[in-house]
Structure 1
Amino acid sequence: MAATAKSSRKPARAAPRGKARGEERDLIARLSRGAVICAEGYVFELERRGYLQAGAFVPEVLFDHPEVVEQLHLDFVHAGSDVTQALTYYVHREKLRVIGREKDLVPMNRAALKIAKSVARRTGTLFAGDLCNTNIYDPADKGSIKEVERIFDEQVGWAVEAGVDYFVAETLGWAGEALMALEAIRKHSKVPAVVTFAMHREELTRDGLTPAEACQRLEGAGADVVGLNCHRGPATMMPLLKQIRRAVKCHVAALPVPYRTIASQPSFMSLTDPCCGDRRAFPVGLDPFVCTRQEIFDFGREAFALGIRYLGVCCGAGPHHIRALAESLGRHPPASRYSVDMSKHAFFGTDKKIRRIQTDYQDKA
Structure 2
Amino acid sequence: MEQPKKGLLERLAEGVVVGDGSFILTMEKRGYATAGAWTPEACVLHPEAVSQLHREFIRNGSDVLQTFTFYSSDEQLQHVASAVYDNVPAEQNNNINMKTLTAAEVNAAAIDIAQGVAQEGGALVAGSVSPLSEISFHKGKEHSQNEFRKQMSMFKEKGVDFLLGEFFKKVEEAEWAIETMVEMGIPVACTMRLPPSGDHTGVSVQDCAVRMAKAGASLVGVNCLYDPSICLKSMALMKEGLEKAGLQTYLMVQPFGYHSQDPGTEAHPMGYEALPQFPYAMEPRALTRIDVHRFAREAYELGVRYIGGCCGFEPHHIKAIAEELAEERGRHPPSAGALGSWKSLALCEVKTYAEKANWEYWDNLTPTAGRSIEAFSDLAPASLID
The TM tier, using the shorter chain, reads: 0.7 to 0.9
Q: Distance in 1 between matches of 2:35 and 2:52?
A: 20
**Residue number in structure 2 paired with 1:81:** 62
C-alpha contact (below 8 Å) 2:194/2:234 kept by paired residues: no
Q: Distance in 2 between matches of 1:32 and 1:128?
A: 18
Pairwise mapping of residues 29-108 of structure 1 onto structure 2 (< 5 A)? 29-100=10-81, 101=99, 103-108=101-106
Instruction: Identify if the C-alpha distance between structure 1 residues 212 and 137 changes in structure 2 by more than 3 Å, giving closer, same or farther.
Output: farther
Q: Distance in 1 between matches of 2:101 and 2:27?
A: 23
Pairwise mapping of residues 96-245 of structure 1 onto structure 2 (< 5 A)? 96-100=77-81, 101=99, 103-136=101-134, 141=138, 143=139, 145-187=141-183, 189-199=184-194, 203-245=197-239
| Superposition deviation, residue 65 in structure 1 | 0.9
C-alpha contact (below 8 Å) 2:136/2:144 kept by paired residues: no
TM-score, normalised to structure 1, is 0.82
| Superposition deviation, residue 294 in structure 1 | 0.8
TM-score, normalised to structure 2, is 0.78
Report SS of the residue matched to 2:273: coil
Q: Distance in 2 between matches of 1:46 and 1:137?
A: 28
| Superposition deviation, residue 103 in structure 1 | 4.4
Q: Distance in 2 between matches of 1:345 and 1:231?
A: 42
Aligned residues: 319
| Superposition deviation, residue 225 in structure 1 | 0.3
Unaligned runs of 5+ residues in structure 2 are: 82-98, 243-247, 265-269, 356-386
Report SS of the residue matched to 2:222: strand
Q: Distance in 2 between matches of 1:209 and 1:238?
A: 18
Instruction: Identify if the C-alpha distance between structure 1 residues 116 and 180 changes in structure 2 by more than 3 Å, giving closer, same or farther.
Output: same
Instruction: Identify if the C-alpha distance between structure 1 residues 118 and 342 changes in structure 2 by more than 3 Å, giving closer, same or farther.
Output: closer
Structure 1 stretches (4+) deviating beyond 6 angstroms? none
Which residue type is aligned with residue 198 of structure 1?
R
Instruction: Identify if the C-alpha distance between structure 1 residues 263 and 170 changes in structure 2 by more than 3 Å, giving closer, same or farther.
Output: closer
RMSD between superposed Cα atoms in Å: 2.1
Report SS of the residue matched to 2:146: helix
Deviations 1:286-345 (A, max 9, x none): 111001101111111111111110110110111100000011112411111373544436
Aligned sequence identity (%): 31
Instruction: Identify if the C-alpha distance between structure 1 residues 283 and 148 changes in structure 2 by more than 3 Å, giving closer, same or farther.
Output: farther
Which residue type is aligned with residue 258 of structure 2?
Y
Which residue type is aligned with residue 164 of structure 2?
V
Unaligned runs of 5+ residues in structure 1 are: 1-20, 272-279, 352-365
1:26 equivalent in alignment to 2:28: no
Higher relative contact order (CA 8 A, sep 6+): 1
**Residue number in structure 1 paired with 2:341:** 339
**Residue number in structure 1 paired with 2:273:** 269
